[in-house]
Amino acid sequence: MHIGFDITALSVPQSGVGTYSLNLFRQLAAEPTHRITPLFHRPLHPQAQLPVWVHDHGPQRGMINKTLWMQLMLPWQLRRCGVELAHFTNSVAPLAMQCPSIVTVHDMTLWLFPEHHYRRRLLAMRPLIPLVVRRAAAVITVSQSAKDDLVRLLDIPEAKVHVIYEAPAEEFRPLALTDPRLETIRRRYGLPERFLLYVGTIEPRKNLVRLLEAFADFRARHQSDHHLLLVGSRGWKETAVFKAIERLGLRTWVHCLDFVPLDDLIVLYNLADAVAFPSLYEGFGLPVVEAMACGTPVITSDSGSLGEVAGDAACVVDPLSVPSIGAGLGRVLLQRDYRDWLRARGKALVAEFTWQRSAAETLALYERVLSPNKKEAQLRLQKQ
């Protein structure tokens, strides 16, 4: 079985899609039962921790427009390489290919939160994604919530969409209190003794303004010396977040870091008293399981995929309610017994999410699509 696997997301500093592509590719590439060819059009980011051979491989590495490469060049390259099945990891794929395709759709924010995207992206992607999904032999989503949204909004047959959960990378784990990396990272970034951690892009969908308001109220009510650390790249309309920091008088208490290396991020999770991730919408919510894998309590939203993934292993709050978020902060940060209970529940829950399991389920789907008795079904699906 010869698989073409899209790793274009690894050409930029790692995002949620990049994390998915990286970890799934690493697991698939370790399997001896098939051949996997990485698909990318630009040199990979130095932080992409892949086997050395990958960086010098791939059908095309020129600095060309991604759309032109994917729609015009890639179909020919797939034929030349003898790829039997192509897996595209970020909602888009060539519209004309001889081999069947599988596409992963992580979320439906273009439809549910159009105000959080540039107009040119909406104009390009909203017509394209339904075409790609209908032509694909199968579709992967990373949560049942994301599947429900996709089926409802794009009118896709439910049987065509397969839920395969993401997972924390195996590097995420608790560190011993004596581990020297803890103090090294604390000094490197000038971190306070006690802090709440957020990991993710700085953008409106992440609900950071409400988190800041809840944090300000929590500090005022409890005279807390906790700080808030925001770790992530600046995204769409990020200025609202920084204006809120000024408006709420939190400049001394809120610290912002841009993209940090994976090794540093693991230590930050371990140093934090808790992780707050009250996002309005996620396809999966990797920071939730990454924090749990490090033994850190989590405060997150009670809706969509976040409630689905976290279950009772996190303190779930109403993301639209500042008082609810504030109550969650107080419960977790002020109650040691509750924090310990969340750590234990999180450890048990996160054991269910592994990239080995995700890769095995993905491979099983590849085999189903390529099996002889599925060929007619593939042709029918591609003509829809």
pLDDT for 93-106, tens place per residue?
A: 999 888 999 999 99
Residue 173 lies in a domain: no
Domain that holds residue 153: 2-167+354-383
pLDDT band at 382 (very low <50, low <70, confident <90, very high): low
> 184 and 160, same structural domain?
no
- Res. 259: pLDDT tops 80: yes
pLDDT reported for residue 61: 46
Q: Is the dihedral of CA 284, 290, 292, 296 positive or negative?
A: negative
- Res. 15: pLDDT tops 80: no
> 157 and 15, same structural domain?
yes
> 304 and 203, same structural domain?
yes
pLDDT reported for residue 226: 96
281-333 tens-digit pLDDT = 999 999 999 999 999 999 999 988 999 999 999 999 999 999 999 999 999 99
- Counted domains in the chain: 2
Residue 28 lies in a domain: yes
pLDDT band at 204 (very low <50, low <70, confident <90, very high): confident
- Res. 215: pLDDT tops 80: yes
> 327 and 208, same structural domain?
yes
Q: Dihedral (C-alpha) 235, 172, 44, 47: value to the nearest 10 degrees?
A: 80
pLDDT reported for residue 43: 64
> 308 and 185, same structural domain?
yes
> 189 and 157, same structural domain?
no
Instruction: Kindly state the average pLDDT of the residues 216-222.
Output: 95
- Res. 280: pLDDT tops 60: yes
137-189 tens-digit pLDDT = 999 999 999 999 999 999 999 999 999 999 999 999 999 999 999 999 999 99
> 79 and 37, same structural domain?
yes
pTM to 2 decimal places: 0.90
pLDDT reported for residue 11: 74
Instruction: Kindly state the average pLDDT of the residues 14-37.
Output: 89
Sheet of 195-199, strand order: 254-257, 227-231, 195-199, 274-277, 298-301, 315-317
- Res. 377: pLDDT tops 50: no
> 190 and 215, same structural domain?
yes
| Token output for 4 | 């073409």
- Res. 109: pLDDT tops 80: yes
> 288 and 139, same structural domain?
no
- Res. 360: pLDDT tops 90: yes
Residue 318 lies in a domain: yes
- Res. 26: pLDDT tops 80: yes
Residue 67 CB neighbour total at 10 angstroms: 12
> 150 and 45, same structural domain?
yes
> 8 and 146, same structural domain?
yes
Listed in sequence order, the residues at least 6 apart from 384 whose beta carbon sits closer than 8 Å to its beta carbon are 134, 135
Residue 97 lies in a domain: yes
Query: With 0-12 CB in 10 A as exposed, 13-18 as middle and 19+ as buried, what is 329?
Result: buried
Q: Which residue intervals of the chain are DSSP H helices?
A: 16-29, 52-55, 66-68, 74-81, 109-112, 119-135, 144-154, 180-188, 208-222, 239-247, 262-271, 286-293, 304-310, 322-334, 336-350, 355-370, 375-383
> 61 and 77, same structural domain?
yes
User: What CATH number does residue 218 fall under?
Assistant: 3.40.50.2000
